Amino acid sequence: MKALIYIFIGGGLGSVMRFLISNFSQKLWNIKGFPFGTFTVNIVGCFLIGLASAYFLKVDNYLKFLIITGFCGGFTTFSAFSIENYTLWQEGNYGILALYVGLSILIGILAIFLGFWVLKN
């Protein structure tokens, strides 16, 4: 139960920070047509989950739920996707890595089209 409370708090904080940083970044670097806000959040989230994962490999406590699962998960799921890919790379699972990246992107985009199609029809 304690882990769920940490995840809940971290997720809320991460979501608020995603909104604030994304909007600020998009306004700061207003490159027409490029989603710089989301890009910034994804890269920052990957850096943060990398730092946190490396740290919590050495120190195991409930803060990992607050920071990794909660904050980083609320901030951007792209960071979770990226750390999973990093782990597959480290373990030498290159085939699974390629399959995971390819399917995630392809099926993710197809799911967006499906969602739009379902509501149009």
| Alpha-carbon gap, residue 71 to 9, rounded angstroms | 8
| Alpha-carbon gap, residue 121 to 115, rounded angstroms | 10
75 closest CA partner among 38, 108, 101, 111: 38
CB neighbour list of residue 56: distance below 8 Å, 6 or more residues apart: 63, 64, 67, 68
Cβ(10)–Cβ(71) below 8 Å: yes
In total, the chain counts a number of residues equal to 121
Answer yes or no: is 73 a known binding residue.
yes
Answer yes or no: is 74 a known binding residue.
no
Q: Which residues make up each annotated binding site?
A: 73, 76
Tell me the binding residues for Na(+): 73, 76
